[in-house]
Structures are given as C-alpha cells and as structure tokens.
Amino acid sequence: MKADHRHYEETWTLVWEFASCCIFLKRGFITPCTISFVWENNIMQQFFHWWKRRRPWLQGISSLTLGVGILALLIGGYLFHWHWTGFDTKTLWDWMQLLIIPAALAVTGYLFNRAERQSEQQAAQRRAEAEQMLIEQRSQAEQQRAEQRAMTERFLLQWRIEEELKRKEEYQREELLQAYLNCMSELLIDKGLRSSNPGDELRHVARARTLTALQRLNPERKVDVLWFLYESNLLDLHGNKQIVDVRDADWSRILLNESRLAQIDLREVNLSHAQMQGIDLRGASLQGALLYQVDLRGAILRGANLSEANLTQANLNGADLTGANLKGADLSHADLTHAILQKSNLRNATLQQANLSHADLQEAIYDQEQLRNASVWGIIR
C-alpha cells in the first residue's frame, strides 16, 4: 500500500509540474530557457519535496487558497470582464488546447500506474502463493522427516528392548545351564549317582532336574545337556537299564550332525525336527521316540532299536539301518531312498506313502501288504 501511494504521488507530481510549465509558458510568464533551468536543477522537485514535508493543514490551506483564487479569476474574467486576467477572450477551444495535453498525460499516467499496480499486485500475489506453497511443502517435508525420525527411534527402541530381553534370556539360560551342571556334578561326585540303584531317590532327583532344565533351555544348550549326560555315562545302555531316566525329555530341534552317540539310551524322548545328518547311533535305543520330520540322512543306525518310534516324514535317505529293529514303527511319508534295510525288522511297521526307491531290503522282515501303498521302484529284495 505504501509503494502504491508513493507511485501515485510521484505520478501526480510529474503531471502537475508538466501542466504548470505548459500554463506558464502559454501565458508567457516563463521562457523555455527558464523551464530548462528549472528542470535541470530540480527546483520544482525540491519545491514539491519541501512542500510535502509540511504539515497537512498547510497543504489544505494552500489547496483551498489556490482553488478560491482560480475560481475568483474565472468569475472575474468571465462575469466582470477583468481584461487583465485574459479569461474573457478565451474560448472553449482555447481551454481544450490548453488542457487536453495535461489531461491526456494525466489519464495516461493514471492508467499506466493502475496497470502497473495491478501487475505488481498480481506478481506479489503469485509470490505469496509460491511462498505459501513452499512453506507448506517444507512443513510437509519436515513433518515426514519428523515421522521418519520418530519411527526410526521407535524401531531402535524396540530393537534395543528386544536385544536387552534376548541378552537377559541368554544370561538366565546360561545361569540355568551352569546351575544344572553344578547340581549334576554334585550328584555324581558327592552323592555317587553313577553307582546308585534303580529306584533310588538320587535318580529321581537327577531326572527331575534334567526334565526341568530342558523345558527352559534353548536347542543349543539342550545339546550341552545331552553331551554332559552321555559323556558322564548316564545315558549308556547298562543291562538295558538307565541311570538317568530321560523319557519324555524334550530335545526337539537340536543340532547333532556328524555326532557319535553309539549305545546311547534315548527311549521315548522327543527328537522331532532334529538335525542329525551322518550321526552314528549304532546300537542306540530310540524305542518309542518321537522322530517326526527328523533329518537322518546318511545316519548310521546299525542294530539300533527303533521299535514303536514315530518316524513320520523322517528323512532317512541313504541311512544304514542294517539289523535295526523297526517293529511297529510309523514310517508314513518317510524318505527311505537308497536306505540300507538288510536284516532289519519291519514287522507291523507303517509304510503308508513311504518312499523306498532303491532301498535294500535283503533279508529284511516285512509283509508284501505293508508295501502296497509305498513307492518301491528299484527296490532290492
């Protein structure tokens, strides 16, 4: 608004200067040289600047005095025929010649300033809209960055919490494993667990400790428990009797690839989903064990007792089951491709949808009815 008002004043100042010069020149009050001197030395502009700095009431009085003077001259010239004014001889055409150029210039200046103001207003409006759009875009981008930072912080916080919980769980499991090993060591060394008799309270305590620990340990530490019991001769077959009864023990999903656990007693334990590729279990007892989806590829199970074991969907590809006892075992959907089943006992074993392709069944005990729903392509009998 201040800029528009300034342009307006400057335009009218120039028009007024030009009109005044035209009037004074027409009346012969001044010469072109005087106009050139005044214009070059900015005398009129200095006068108008001085005049604009005065108080508004002085401008009002000046305007009123000028208007009254002009009106008096017009009335005196036309009504009272004051010849010295020169107005009594002026016709309408003279006035038009005198005022048409300043009027045209004034109208042109007004229209030009108006168009310029409108153009400036439109440009300012466009700039304001562009700035507003830029502000909104920056605000949206900042909001998105803030949301991303908040999401990242939440993710990191959740990750730290989970990692802290994992560390606590690992610490607790490690503490539990160490407590179990210390307790079993005490039972072995101080209490004479290995020389105890079946049914002794000492053996019941060892079983309870073992089953409780296995329920709370992860698969990696369950392997440590198994190795401790096996290396301590607590799971060896001694006259078909166990020192530590581990029936119903949970050793599912443990990793025992290429391990040697010959003559181990794992009757009725849970070994489902265990990874035991190439394991040596010759002479082991897995009677009634849960071996669902166990991986026994290339395993050595010579003379092992797998009677009543659940081997559903077990992978026994290339396993050596020579002389193994599989009486009553469930081998439904099991993979026995290239398995060696010589002299094995398959009486009453379930072979529903089992794959016996290229399996060696020489001298094995089984009924033809058992093979009715099994794949026996390339079988060796």
pLDDT in tens, 208-241: 999 999 999 999 999 999 999 999 889 877 555 6
277/323 same-domain check: yes
- Under DSSP, is residue 285 helix (H, G, I), strand (E, B) or coil? strand
Q: What is the CA radius of gyration of the chain?
A: 56
pLDDT confidence tier of residue 250, bands split at 50, 70 and 90: very high
pLDDT confidence tier of residue 371, bands split at 50, 70 and 90: confident
Residue 347, exposed/middle/buried by CB under 10 A (0-12, 13-18, 19+)? middle
* CA distance between the termini of the chain: 109
| pLDDT, tens digit (0-9, with 9 covering 90-100), for 287-299 | 999 999 999 999 9
Domain that holds residue 174: 147-242
Separation of alpha carbons 280 and 92, rounded Å:
132
> How many domains is the chain built from?
3
If you average pLDDT over residues 234-255, what whole number do you get? Answer: 84
pLDDT confidence tier of residue 29, bands split at 50, 70 and 90: low
* End position of a domain, from candidates 242, 277, 300: 242
Tell me which DSSP letter residue 360 carries. Answer: B
> What is the maximum alpha-carbon separation in the chain?
158
pLDDT at residue 111 tops 60: yes
75/195 same-domain check: no
| pLDDT, tens digit (0-9, with 9 covering 90-100), for 176-204 | 999 999 999 999 999 888 888 888 899 99
Beta strands in the chain (DSSP E): none
Residue pointed to by tokens 């004479």: 192
pLDDT at 30: 54
Structure tokens at 380: 């060796």
pLDDT at residue 99 tops 70: no
pLDDT at residue 82 tops 80: no
Q: Which of 48-62, 211-225, 233-247, 353-367 has the lowest mean pLDDT?
A: 48-62
CA nearest to 315, candidates 301, 299, 295, 333: 295
Structure tokens at 373: 């729903």
- Under DSSP, is residue 28 helix (H, G, I), strand (E, B) or coil? coil
Q: Is residue 35 part of a domain?
A: yes
Q: Which of 87-101, 177-191, 313-327 has the lowest mean pLDDT?
A: 87-101
84/162 same-domain check: no
**Is this model's pTM higher than 0.95 or not?**
no
pLDDT at residue 379 tops 90: no
**Alpha-carbon dihedral angle through residues 18, 23, 28, 29, given to the nearest 10 degrees:** -80
If you average pLDDT over residues 38-56, what whole number do you get? Answer: 56
CB 234 within 8 A of CB 260: no
255/372 same-domain check: yes
Give every CB contact of residue 193 below 8 A, 6+ residues apart in sequence.
Answer: 184, 187, 202, 203, 206, 234, 243, 244
CA nearest to 249, candidates 222, 228, 276, 273: 222
255/291 same-domain check: yes
69/163 same-domain check: no
pLDDT confidence tier of residue 115, bands split at 50, 70 and 90: confident
pLDDT at 360: 94
pLDDT at residue 117 tops 70: yes
pLDDT at residue 279 tops 90: yes
Q: Is residue 130 part of a domain?
A: no
CB 322 within 8 A of CB 304: no
